[in-house]
Amino acid sequence: MGGPDDKDKLVVFADAANVNNLIVYWRDEIPADWKQIPGTSSRRIAGLLPVDFGDKSLTSSYSENSATIFDYGAVLANNQVKTNEKMMLDVQLKMKDPKRTPYGVQKFQWDPETREWKVAWTRADVSSPNSTPVVTTLNRQLHTVGLKDGKWAMQTLDWDTGETRALYTLGASERYNPIMLALQVLPSSDPIFAAFGGVMHLRLGALDTVGDAHRK
């Protein structure tokens, strides 16, 4: 996080706490005036926040996939099934079971002016259970594939606000199940991802509506 011309240069990762923390580290030299955050193990830690997806009573959270990074923002999705089963293939193929489906997408933001690590927004109603979301930087949109009303769907969120920009129902078939693989975006702006049924190329056109996707 933070390019060559940015003020701050950081590294972001989730730890192995029962409720995962998203920790941000100084990547290069620690600023001379930086004071160690009380309760942390190192002065290199620039921020630490629980990944609770808006539920302060949560006793366990788990993110299998890397954070999606753009500008000074980082997004994590909830990858822990409600039954706390391990993410083996047979469990992934039962993800549509509402007793298993995990929900929650949360964005964290680094403020280079105040040098604070904050929660930017949380969507407790969005499911992105087993793939890494992707952001399109040109229009600042975050694309996810998850479950909506028992069917696989692609949901596009506003990167800055978390509001839904588009929702496309794919179908109930496991052919749309991304099985822990990341989304990508083609030069045409079409999303593409590897799924249980093969490679899914979604010819969506302008991502500003709610409806059914054209599937290829």
* CA dist list (Å): 156 to 6, 166, 203: 27, 5, 14
Compute the Cα dihedral for 121, 125, 130, 136 and give only its sign: negative
Domain count, the chain: 1
pLDDT of residue 215: 44
Distance CA 130, CA 92 (A): 8
pLDDT of residue 205: 58
The percentage of the chain sitting over the pLDDT mark of 70, rounded to a whole number, equals 94
CA angle in degrees (0–180, nearest 5) for 129-62-145: 15
Which pair of tokens denotes residue 65? 């996939």
Specify if 163 maps to a domain: yes
Specify if 4 maps to a domain: no
pLDDT of residue 166: 92
List pLDDT tens digits, range 172-184.
999 999 988 888 9
Specify if 121 maps to a domain: yes
pLDDT of residue 216: 40
Q: What are the phi and psi torsion angles at 78 (to 5°)?
A: -80, 120
Specify if 120 maps to a domain: yes
Distance CA 176, CA 146 (A): 9
Q: How many other β-carbons are positioned within 10 Å of the β-carbon of residue 141?
A: 20
Specify if 188 maps to a domain: yes
Whether residue 29 is predicted with pLDDT greater than 60 in this model: the reply is yes
Distance CA 134, CA 184 (A): 6
Whether residue 207 is predicted with pLDDT greater than 80 in this model: the reply is no
Whether residue 208 is predicted with pLDDT greater than 50 in this model: the reply is no
Range of the domain at 131: 10-215
Q: Which of residues 210 and 43 earns the better pLDDT score?
A: 43
Q: How many other β-carbons are positioned within 10 Å of the β-carbon of residue 25?
A: 17
Q: Which of residues 87 and 51 earns the better pLDDT score?
A: 51
Specify if 1 maps to a domain: no
List pLDDT tens digits, range 30-80.
999 999 999 999 999 999 999 999 888 888 888 888 899 999 999 999 998
Specify if 3 maps to a domain: no
